[in-house]
Chain A
């Protein structure tokens, strides 16, 4: 497999390997026969120098490495000491200082995985270490100098969604001096808050708040706002994305190109409309919380209402939407309290399964609602509420009795569900959504605002139903994540990424299917020779291209590639099989 696989032997003169065995004080030397290891290393093919030191990681030890590289013209360095997970960068740096490409270094772990775990059998432990060093040297001989590509970064952001999250992210980036294009599907900025009345727990007016934010955005010179605008196409990758945005401006529709180094998704969510449940859609007295809130906001609620019943978890925590809506309990309490404040005579019943008011300030809010006389009734899914001629029948498990509550208004608390068009946007951005249609982040615990695809970020209820303060935090956070890219001139790749031997590529796309990071694209390549066939379709051919900045170097593509066109640099098949042979003493 020489010609394609083993660049090292072509690009580089034949290997001159230096081996450094570390005593790690007593930690290795105490359990392994270090002098013997040095001797056997010296005898290995390609090894021109071998020695030992008390602590290879000490300044003295590193100096020895640098000196040896120069003195013995080493073009590969092998250190046998501890684990690469902690010490590889240190030694690689030393190699680089002596003018050796960092990828020509190999660390053999004879401490954590040898001397420390075989303390009672010096002979066998030494034999194992000998094999490990042979393996390391064999791999070193095939190591290739790798370069880390850099791509320029467009210092602009595109933010999709002009609700509170999108507005907040845009302002944060603008304050940092980055140009932002804010893309909103509706004719107006502001998102869901434009339809709300008061905000829990502060009771601040939602529309005033969002109006203030919108004004700030409009004042910002470096934020361009596109309303009635939808994303039609997305090209490119981290550093320079190119979006095509269809926008209706001054009555005429046009497709605008938007360039951006990063993209933030803040498309929000919408209230689930429970048609067919509890007479919603047929009975005008049956509303959703948002519809009630709009009435409260526009204060044209047909008062007086003597009896109002709210039912929680309508279309939530069931087979349609198995999740808890997170914000519905607080929304319901907020509206219940507003009604009580407007008219203390109004009886407000709140039928719930579990009161979801986590966190420090919300519990008191719940207490207030009970203070104001809102009546909380717990029901269970096996005895759900039913409506019959203007009454709600429900079994109160805790009271142990069946209640029959009359209502003038029946308000259904339904969960937030993903905004329309989520799947289309996900397809354009090549990012995943979860089983409910909420966008799926790179890692549920530690990367809540990132997508697995570099350069695309996420915030607000597009990710999961969020309280306002959460949405704002996430928006600021997404802005920070985006800034880690925007604030630099280039993004740098690792050298240990996949590469394509184009002459071998059949364009079968198995690699792209295996890649979780969208790092493999296909280009149409003309093949002069093909003209000699009359067959139309074969005039040009798909060839895989790896974007080194997106590639994470996992090597999955190299396993599925049928021809060997895809190779995992630094972990090539040849390097691995050579280690296997070396382990067996060949």
Chain B
């Protein structure tokens, strides 16, 4: 990792992606570590996406969605909790630090919070060091 980690971030269209936009409108600066993928709902984020990201070499995966009760699709964020838990257990088994995966609720009004979460997570990943999966074996089958 050229010191700055690379983080794949999933953001739900209705709350968190709007929150990320608000950080921009408010010109709140944060490290350029994230690559945001917009999904309609955090409940769309399959554990497979998370594993794929880490296998592809991402140093961290951030999943963001509406606060509990705010989900535009009523219960998508509850589904996200379940999916993330599943992914976490798999990471634990595979010996990949579960701290590389983070789930956060960020509302459309929480621009500062989005920036803060990215700052913290980036720092946390820096402490963990680079994703070492690629060190042995070939990259993509």
Contacts and interface: CB of A to CB of B under 8 A. Distances in A.
A584 B44 contact: no
A84 B44 CA distance: 18
B102 interface: no
Interface string A459-493: 00000000000000000000000000000000000
B48 A556 contact: no
B58 interface: yes
Interface string A111-128: 111101111110011011
Contact of B52 (A111, A124, A577): A577
B37 A135 contact: yes
Interface in B31-64: 31-32, 34-41, 43-46, 48-49, 52-53, 56-58
A553 interface: yes
Interface in A103-142: 109, 111-114, 116-121, 124-125, 127-128, 131-132, 135
A516 B56 contact: no
Nearest to B12: A554
A559 B83 contact: yes
Q: Is the interface of A mostly helix, strand, loop or mixed?
A: helix
Given A117-B23, A117-B29, A555-B40, A573 B53 contact: no
A555 B34 CA distance: 23
Nearest to A126: B32
Interface in A541-564: 552-556, 558-559
Interface of A: 83-85, 109, 111-114, 116-121, 124-125, 127-128, 131-132, 135, 452, 496, 514, 516, 552-556, 558-559, 568, 571, 573, 576-577, 579-581, 583-584, 586
Interface of B: 4, 6, 8, 13, 17-18, 20-21, 23-25, 27-32, 34-41, 43-46, 48-49, 52-53, 56-58, 72-76, 79, 83, 115, 139-140
Contact of A577 (B36, B49, B57, B115): B49
Contact of A583 (B6, B29, B48): B6
Nearest to A135: B35
A98 B20 CA distance: 32
Given A132-B35, A556-B76, A576-B37, A111 B24 contact: yes
Contact of B28 (A111, A117, A128): A117
A166 B35 CA distance: 52
Contact of A120 (B8, B29, B40, B48): B29
A559 B46 contact: yes
